[in-house]
Amino acid sequence: MTSFIALRKVTKRYKLGGTMIEVLYEEDLTIEQGEFVALMGPSGSGKTTLLNIIGGLDTVERGSVSVAGGELHTFSNRQLSQWRARHVGLVFQFYHLLQVMSVERNVMLPLLLTGMPSAQCRKRVRDVLEVLGMADYLHRRPEELSGGQQQRIAIARALVTDPALIVCDEPTGDLDRENADMVLGLLAWLNREQGKTIVMATHDPEAAQHTTRVIPVGKARTREASGNHRSAA
């Protein structure tokens, strides 16, 4: 039985100026469906890199990445974005909401990629915002809302396609304690009551209380790699 998420012998390569930086993960990572996992470790330890790999935002140069039944290391970019649209919701530290659009449009964006008819899209958006207690803000713009409210809107956007997996990168990093606790509580509720598998990178010392497991991420082993790599072009 394979795990919901399984990363084996993964190496990610970044091009930095004229050199290559390789981030090597020496520990394999497995996460089961229904877990709410916090990846914790110092800055530069490779948490964001890991999340981007798990969420299909980025590809690896070596190793295998199995997530929600997809063998991501074998996918083309097009297959990866199709897989992502169906299986993952993404939440970021700075919300990544489009300030010129209404809350409704922001939350609807991922649905537009699915071809859902627009009346159905509007209903789905309203339902999700209602579940998150944000239905009154449908026609507001994100810039009129507090940070905590904006993160709730971003979580609504992550949920709107009903993905099995939610990936969050420092979701409380820009919030005060009260709003951070609200967001952590909301994620824990989504995990418990809606069965979402959640993988979150965080520095927040309170996070462990809300999650089902903490995975420490040690200082990533990085090395400079030079020349003759297939991604070097």
Binding residues vs ligand ADP (CB under 6 A): 14, 16, 21, 23, 41, 43-49, 220, 222
The CB-based long-range contact list for 56-60 (8 Å cut-off, 24+ gap) reads 56/80, 56/81, 56/83, 56/84, 56/87, 56/88, 57/84, 57/90, 58/12, 60/10, 60/11, 60/12
Nearer to Mg ion, 35 or 169 (CB): 169
Nearer to ligand ADP, 45 or 150 (CB): 45
Joined together, the tokens standing for residue 37 give 């996992």
- 45 makes contact, choosing from ligand ADP, Mg ion, none, with CB < 5 to 8 Å by partner type, with ligand ADP
- 220 makes contact, choosing from Mg ion, ligand ADP, none, with CB < 5 to 8 Å by partner type, with ligand ADP
Interface residues with Mg ion (CB under 5 A)? 47-48
**Smallest gap, in angstroms, from Cβ of residue 24 to ligand ADP?**
10
Answer for the pair 217, 228: CB distance below 8 angstroms, yes or no. Answer: no
DSSP string for 133-163: T-GGGTTS-GGGS-HHHHHHHHHHHHHTT--
- 142 makes contact, choosing from Mg ion, ligand ADP, none, with CB < 5 to 8 Å by partner type, with none
Nearer to Mg ion, 93 or 211 (CB): 93
Edge-to-edge strand list for the sheet holding 88-91: 88-91, 165-169, 197-201, 36-40, 213-216
Nearer to ligand ADP, 65 or 111 (CB): 65
**Smallest gap, in angstroms, from Cβ of residue 170 to Mg ion?**
6
